[in-house]
Amino acid sequence: MGPSKTIEICFVCLGNICRSPLAEGVFQHLVNSQKLQEKIIIDSAGTGNWHAGSPPDRRMESTARKKGVRLASIAQQFQPGDFRRYDLVIAMDRSNLQSLEYMCSPEVAEKKLKLFRSFDPQANGDLDVPDPYYGGQSGFEDVFEIVNRTCPQILEYIKTRF
């Protein structure tokens, strides 16, 4: 069973070329496999604007493609007004969560903002999805594993809350 209404979700990282496009792609793949694409609209954005208009990082895109996931997003910057559009905004790390909290009221933050790894069954207190941008290929693989195991938990949350 899916959500009772159409909801919009946005994954947010720093530049919107690595972690959040991957979360968007993996989550879209999951939503499509459960035939919920008419009920759950998925997007991603960055708190920074320096990659706006760019496709996902080629290393992240390659990692996802090898796992059967297509990344189709174009980088954009999250704006304060976006809180009106999205029902759920999920930050990929605490730094981005803090940036997002500055953009909204405490009431909106309480209702709409979540930290991605707060859904990760293997987080063990580490609530940041590491940024693989400056590292090697293994960092992209590690981020894929975190995102892939966490997205089903987020979908279950949505099914029970919306």
> Which of 45, 19, 43 is closest to 100 using CA atoms?
45
Q: How far apart are CA 102 and CA 36, in angstroms?
A: 32
In the set 18, 19, 104, 117, the catalytic residue is 19
Query: Residue 18 catalytic?
Result: no
List beta partners, residue 89: 10, 113
Query: Residue 43 catalytic?
Result: no
In the set 82, 93, 120, 131, the catalytic residue is 131
Q: Is the dihedral of CA 13, 26, 58, 122 positive or negative?
A: positive
In the set 13, 18, 104, 151, the catalytic residue is 13
Q: Residue 64 carries which side chain, given as an amino acid letter?
A: A
Residues designated catalytic:
13, 19, 131
